[in-house]
Structure 1
Amino acid sequence: MAVDWISFSYAAMVTVGGILGYTRRGSVMSLISGLLFGSLAGYGAYQISNDPQNVKLSLINAGILTIAMGMRYRKSGKLMPAGLIAGVSFFMVVRLVIVML
């Protein structure tokens, strides 16, 4: 059983991003979203670590974040945090599709 460090790192990045959004801007929505999507990404990383073909939860989670943060980046034009999370989430989607195949 190999640990999927990339997926766990992604989960940590999403969670920490939500916490930072709350501490810097006072955004409760950032905190809720970061904790929710970070937790789902962490559980998905755990599932992938146990069965490398079990990518469904992680793929859906990263796909939703890619779309949501990509739209936010397009609207605001700000690389941080929307563009960064959209890019990393897109990387995760591509990676998970490759792992699935």
Structure 2
Amino acid sequence: MSSTQYDYPGYIFAFLLASGGLLGAIRRGSAMSLVAGVGAAVAAAYGANRVTKNNLDVWPSLYTSIALLVLMTYRFTKSGKFMPAGMVMTLSLLMTIRYAILIA
């Protein structure tokens, strides 16, 4: 790879996860939302950084998006509420597909 190709979708995904955790903490006073959202965002940002450095190094990003996909699919089917579980489930599915395509 001759020039750096930033993993913008990965960084945007991380930003949305952190924002959602912060919003949950502010609106509902949920420390768990903050910890979970920021923790997932750190993992996603780390993965995006790895993909930025080497576009074939998708494993941290792929594992993070799969874990979120499984967890949020469970939460969405249990609650039936699109926000936040359905939204994170959808974004995680898109990111899982994206990273799976990069390694194919």
Structure 1 distance, partners of 2:89, 2:30, is: 19
Q: Of the candidates 21, 24, 29, which is equivalent to residue 24 of structure 2? A: 21
Give TM-score, length-normalised by structure 1.
0.98
What are the residue-to-residue correspondences of 1:13-92 with 2, within 5 Å?
Answer: 13-92=16-95
Report the CA distance between 1:27 and its aligned residue: 1.0
* Alignment root-mean-square deviation, CA: 0.6
Structure 1 runs of 4+ off > 4 angstroms?
none
* Aligned sequence identity (%): 36
Q: Of the candidates 8, 20, 28, which is equivalent to residue 5 of structure 1? A: 8
Q: Which runs of 5+ in 1 are unaligned?
A: none
Report the CA distance between 1:72 and its aligned residue: 0.5
Larger radius of gyration: 2
Give TM-score, length-normalised by structure 2.
0.95
Q: Structure 1: which amino acid aligns with 2:33? A: S
Match of residue 97 from structure 2: 94
